Amino acid sequence: MEQNYDWTETVAERKIQEAMDAGEFENLPGKGQPLDLDYDPSVPAHLRVVNRILKNARALPEWIQLEKDIGRETQLLSTTRERTLRALRYAKNDASRVRIAERQRADHRERISLVNTLILKYNMIAPNAARRAFAPVNAKQEMASLEDAMARVRL
């Protein structure tokens, strides 16, 4: 199969070169003009207008914004976890350690839920061709890992 590809590529290149040598590309409409990369004939006209307005407003499609939100929230999971572990290390007494741990557990559960909701929504609306593979956060495993880390800090 690889051989057929090389053969057809060679023939195509030769045909293009012959056309260029014959001057067939000299008087094409739009020669020397920049390409209009915004025009897509497969998009209906009313959507092209909407897309142009959104582009001029620098708005992102919802699925791209969700990608960014998922990344940000996932990063916040680890950042807030590290801050909490640091706060536990420097807590002055057991009562403050308990408050910090309880607050972190609740925040962590909420953030995991948010990340998983964002991933679910992203998977529903992102175009198949552009979809990235986001796996939901395993809440049980993540909470167990947090408990482990907090227990090590208390020792």
Condensed to tens digits (0 to 9), the pLDDT of residues 70-113 reads 999 999 998 999 998 999 999 889 899 899 999 999 999 999 99
pLDDT of residue 6: 73
Is the pTM for the entire model greater than 0.85?
no
In this prediction, residue 2 carries a pLDDT of 46
Model confidence over 30-76: pLDDT tens digits?
888 887 766 777 778 887 888 788 888 888 888 899 999 999 999 99
* 135 close to 86: Cβ distance less than 8 angstroms: no
Domain ranges of the chain: 62-154
